[in-house]
Copies of this chain bind each other. A is one copy, B any other.
Amino acid sequence: MLHEDRLFPLENKARDLARALYTTVRDLPIISPHGHTDPRWYAENEAFPDPAQLFVTPDHYVFRMLCSQGIPLESLGVPRIDGGPTETDGRKIWRLFAENYHLFRATPSRLWLDHSFEHVFGLTERLSARTADMYYDHIADCLAKPEFRPRALYERFNIEAISTTESALDELKWHEMLRQSGWKGKVVTAYRPDSVVDPEFEGFAANIERFGELAGTDATTWDGYLEAHRNRRAFFKGYGATSSDHGHATARTEDLPKADAAALFAKALKGDCTPQEADAFRGHMLTEMARMSLDDGLVLQIHPGSYRNHSAEVMARHGRDKGFDIPTRTDYVRALKPLLDAVGMRKELTVIAFTLDETSYSRELAPLAGAYPALKLGPAWWFFDSTEGMRRYRETTTETAGFYNTVGFNDDTRAFCSIPARHDVSRRVDCAYLATLVADGRLAEDEAHEVAHDLAYRLVKEAYRL
């Protein structure tokens, strides 16, 4: 199913060179510094459930595409908030998926799925209505075997380190269980404090209450609140965390005087913030987090620009994260200035900015990352985590920011089997880009070899301190 030279340039010399470069990075270990796999998988090491539960029901790339063509989410097993009926027969879900597999033509999902089918499960005929049952049976058989359990796959995928993401309110019990288990895999957590940083988060005041309990401080005062963050960050570091992660609607940052920040926090606790004040508070907390990073060394990740849960109907029926997060135009130049004025020139700090607005690559993010020592540019993300998206990322950032203000690849996924596929796509696209640069005289061949290794392995390892 998979073309040996996929994603490589078409011209022979560049293709040969891309292949040569790829050969040297293909088997490097995977470092996955930002993602959403479930730590419970590694902790319990149970078998994955049926093929539909592995590939369809949890993957919003997959079910949103089916939904866009009129297939109800219920028929794909996506749970309803009201507990109403949804399809539970994995085989029926799988057949529906297989009958509509043509919808994924030329999408990254298709590349990832085919890669998983072929590399993880040894399937070599294309998925279709005709092969649906054969696929289902074969994958189900595999999943029952020990070598398809999470830890075995982790090892087979050649993962050197992987980060999960947990709420600041999480007790990290799976990470604790994992540690106790003695297994050698390196599964670390990341500190995601949205629920205690965003005044508009459901149950903010109660969250702060709980936050203080977990941290052993009175988190309802400004000083106590900051102390609680410090404590929780240290707790997360104890489970390997090397980064914090922040998914705000915009890239806005603020650096408010202490009294103003404390006053906003007090209003937030009372639920009295206007939307503008809530936004200012979130923005200020990014700068506070950056200051804490100067002390504790956590890398600060900013993931802005998504209009979350765009469909009121889908949100009401199925809840958050159902494929209806839509990118919006995002400003970085004015938004990041307060944070950058506060800490942007500190080379010991690493702030990694991502974007869902491609237009900011060449215009804003590459110029910023190409100037401020603290700022690095995260990889092509989400809808751009694709062949064309990755190619455009390199073409629009490299000339201004170079390679060395970027940080390798993030798979950012909860689809476990797609991890090697995604890293493979990234490595191929980067090698194709480098080969093109060599072929038209913009980079020397020996340099391309060094850069290929940097992009596949060294930069991510160093940037995330993994």
Contact = CB atoms under 8 A, between A and B. Distances in A.
Interface of A: 2-11, 13-14, 64-65, 67-70, 102-108, 110-111, 126, 307, 310-314, 323-324, 326-329, 331, 333-334, 337, 340-341, 344-345, 347, 356-359, 362-364, 366-373, 375, 383-384, 386-389, 395-396, 398-405, 436-437, 439-444, 447, 450-451
What 4 A-B pairs come out closest when comparing CB atoms?
Answer: A3-B441, A6-B441, A70-B347, A10-B11
Given A2-B441, A362-B384, A402 B104 contact: yes
A30 B248 CA distance: 47
A68 B373 contact: yes
A451 B105 contact: yes
Contact of A440 (B10, B333, B363, B384): B10
Contacts of A398: 106-107, 388
A75 to B, nearest CB: 12
A344 to B, nearest CB: 6
B345 A313 contact: yes
Given A370-B64, A383-B362, A399-B386, A7 B310 contact: no
Nearest to A2: B441
Nearest to A383: B400
Contacts of A395: 388
A235 B68 CA distance: 31
Given A313-B345, A358-B363, 15 more contacts: A3-B441, A64-B370, A64-B371, A70-B347, A102-B447, A311-B341, A311-B344, A328-B364, A329-B359, A329-B363, A358-B362, A362-B384, A383-B399, A387-B442, A388-B395
Contact of A337 (B310, B356, B404): B310
Contact of A442 (B6, B126, B450): B6
Contacts of A337: 310
